[in-house]
Amino acid sequence: MRRREFIALLGSTAALWAPAARADKLYRIVILHSGFPRRTPIDHLFDALRERGYEDGRTAKIELLGGEGDPDRLNALIADIASEKPDVTIAVTSPAVLGLKQAGLLTPVVFAFVSDPVGQGIVASLAHPGGNFTGISYSETKIGSKRLEFLLGAVPTAQRVAIIWGSGFPENAAMATAVEAAAQVRRLPALSLKVIRLNDLAPAFDEAARFSANALIFLTDNLLFGHRKEIAKLALSHHLPSIHSFPPEVQDGALMSYGPDPEEEYQRAAALADRILKGASPADLPVEEPTRFNLVINVKTAKAFGLSVPPTLLALADQVVE
């Protein structure tokens, strides 16, 4: 047999062996959430991975890590990820993604629930991310304007709007600015109030009341998300009907929420992770945008505020909490 033919035969044989070897590999997938993942619908992500053949303990090793809103804990988890080099990391929320970026992680990362990844320096562009990061993002300008629209639909008499936002999510500053711009278009005075520590929360509501705000857009972060019931009570006691980012905030007493559908977000994150595990480069996978957004309304809270939510708005709701 000629040497060239022998090498070609070896190459074709290796090609036949390669898929079987790869199929037998137990992929290591790390899910990193900067907050408390078990307080979120993270099961949607596990379901989405399972649908694509990645089941913990059988076809993959899937590890769920939560920073619990503690920067030191998050940094320690990131250091472990950087040293262990999983096949793919799914990073949920900006603090987790930015931490991985700043740590110089070289293995693939798929991010979810992150706004403006270009502005935050995570990817070079949405169409051509470059590097090892890609994921799902959304426009803070569009979503901020839509939240204001829905809130005014429930509180049509509102004359002044307050925006209370947690500093733990870097994009909240840009989101607050986008809401202020949307309010300015409607000629509504708006007051933006930054919350750094939990002790800042009640004073922020007091400041909104002194401003005579009668509607509130609340932008949570990991710290504030753990105090949803307290926030709902503060909104009610200050007579500030509010719209939030995530359904659990409404289930715990807030008036409304509007944001990307968590199930779709996790489905798309799992799909991107699957493509990477099958050989695609994150640099070549464009950052995607959600196609589904959820509007959730708590009619019990509406009654407590003395509001009658218009039937047209209720008809738009994806979920109504009685």
**Does the structure show a pLDDT above 70 at 268?**
yes
Residues 121 and 167 in one domain: no
Residues 154-180: pLDDT tens digits? 999 999 999 999 999 989 999 999 999
> Which structural domain, as residue segments, surrounds residue 184?
140-260+294-321
Residues 69 and 134 in one domain: yes
Q: What is the DSSP string of 145-156?
A: HHHHHHHHHH-T
Could you tell me if 137 and 91 are in contact, meaning their C-beta atoms sit under 8 angstroms apart? Answer: no
Residues 122 and 232 in one domain: no
**Does the structure show a pLDDT above 70 at 6?**
no
Local structure of 113: helix, strand or coil: strand
Confidence of residue 24 (pLDDT cuts 50, 70, 90): low
Contacts of 229 (CB under 8 A, 6+ apart): 252, 253
Identify the pLDDT of residue 175.
92
Taking the model in full, what pTM does it have?
0.85
Residues 234 and 303 in one domain: yes
Q: Tell me how many domains the chain contains.
A: 2
Residues 162 and 300 in one domain: yes
Residues 104 and 217 in one domain: no
Residues 90 and 108 in one domain: yes
Residues 20 and 30 in one domain: yes
CATH at 276? 3.40.50.2300
Residues 304 and 183 in one domain: yes
Identify the pLDDT of residue 16.
31
Identify the pLDDT of residue 18.
29
Confidence of residue 19 (pLDDT cuts 50, 70, 90): very low
Residues 63-106: pLDDT tens digits? 999 999 899 999 999 999 999 999 999 999 999 999 999 999 99
Residues 96 and 62 in one domain: yes
Mean pLDDT throughout 258-277? 96
> Strand 293-298 to strand 256-260: parallel, antiparallel, or no bridges (unpaired)?
antiparallel
64 φ, ψ (degrees, to nearest 5): -105, 120
Identify the pLDDT of residue 39.
85
